[in-house]
Amino acid sequence: MQAEPFRIAIDEEVLADLRERISRTRWPDQIAGIGWAQGAELSTLHEVIEHWGTRFDWRVHERALNRFAHFRARIDGLAVHFIHERGRGVRPLPLVLTHGWPSSFVEMTRIIPLLTDPAAHGASAGDAFDVVVPSLPGTGFSERPDSTGMTKSRIVQLWHELMTSVLGYVRYGARGGDIGAGVTSWLGFDHPEHVVGIHVSDVLQPFVGPGAPPLSEAERTFVETEARWAEGEGAYDHVQRTKPQTLAYGLTDSPAGLAAWIVEKLRSWSDCGGELSRRFRLDDVATLLTIYWATASIGSANRLYYDRDRPPRRLGPGQRVEVPVAVALFPADIDQPPREWAERAYDLRRFNRMARGGHFAAFEEPELLAADLREFFRPLRSSAR
């Protein structure tokens, strides 16, 4: 397996068609004063779409993204896109960063320089990383799978082959949130001889069946909170894990539909206090939307929810991830488990409730996340040599 250099270059015809479609948007009505209670709010979507179609200059952001070292490699029959940036320091530690949904590799672009060149950002050169940022299968510039079965376990194997067979790393670390946290956790579980440690912002479901210690009060509260959240906010999850194909037609054909589906989550899951612009510039939003639009990958990205647990995979009695684990919980993110919940699933070495940030932590709070990654992996570096 060999990596080939890759350059982002969206055809001008695709961009022109996008602008033309935006100009013909057919808008729904909205009940006055209801805000975001029933989903994406009309005036905010108007602002996003108008900027995307008339003021946003994709070429500026395309050039900025192409300053990173992009590659594609065919692994197990699938072309995987990834960024591979070498660290500046003494023996940088290889680190694979996995994004979640509805994110992309772009989420990691703010944190990459902090990790590859820490000395240039007020930290020690001894904390440098070789950073690898793959795009999840069917997301952005990674190839869309042509069959079902893209489970977390299969993605784990793709990532392991990328790190070892394609890039030649024997030992490496991993970090992820959301879907990326599940991939990262199972990467540590499946390949402990190669993974020096993992850092996650979402926790695997531990085994809580017969023979397991009873749940603490904090754990019971967490389980109840999760159930209430799923009832009130989990519509996207239910449709994407049951009927993603039906959803894909509208989101692939309508820029406004795509924007509404994604922008609602950017606002709801980020530490923005209900104001999207506190965390995301309109250009940031338009960049993410353009990648999904130009690659027609929202359907395949959503389909990961259908594939992820078919068949389901859970920790069994007595099982946990045995490599060293750090959990960093950002206050505006979805899941906020107590420490004892994480201790059931992991060899937990570090558990932090971060001061700020949400679901898109590497983009929202790159400095906080980079500092936590440096501190966690610092004592583990010797085991990677």
Give the Cβ contact number of residue 238 at 10 Å. 11
Cβ atoms < 10 Å from Cβ of 185: 26
* Structural contact between residues 93 and 381, judged by C-beta atoms closer than 8 angstroms: yes
CA distance 103 to 315: 26
| Predicted pLDDT at 309 | 81
Instruction: Give the model's pLDDT for residue 334.
Output: 95
Q: Which residues are catalytic?
A: 178, 305, 359
pLDDT given at position 124: 96
- 223 CB-near residues (< 8 Å, 6+ apart): 215
C-alpha distances in Å from residue 181, one per residue of 99, 198, 203, 317, 325: 8, 9, 7, 21, 11
Rounded Cα distance between 198 and 200, Å, is 7
Which 3 state secondary structure label does DSSP give 98?
strand
Low-confidence ranges of the chain (pLDDT < 70): 385
Query: For residue 176, what pLDDT is reported?
Result: 98
The C-alpha atoms of residue 346 and residue 203 are separated, in whole angstroms, by 9
- pLDDT at site 1: 74
pLDDT of 69-97, one tens digit each? 999 999 999 999 999 999 998 899 999 99
* pLDDT number for residue 385: 66
pLDDT at 383: 78
Query: Is the peptide bond between 206 and the residue preceding it cis, with omega within 30 degrees of 0?
Result: no
Task: Sketch out the chain's domains with CATH numbers.
Answer: 3-22+39-384 (3.40.50.1820)
Burial 53-90 (b: 16+ CB within 10 A, else e): beebebeebbeebeebebbbbebeebebbbbbbebebe
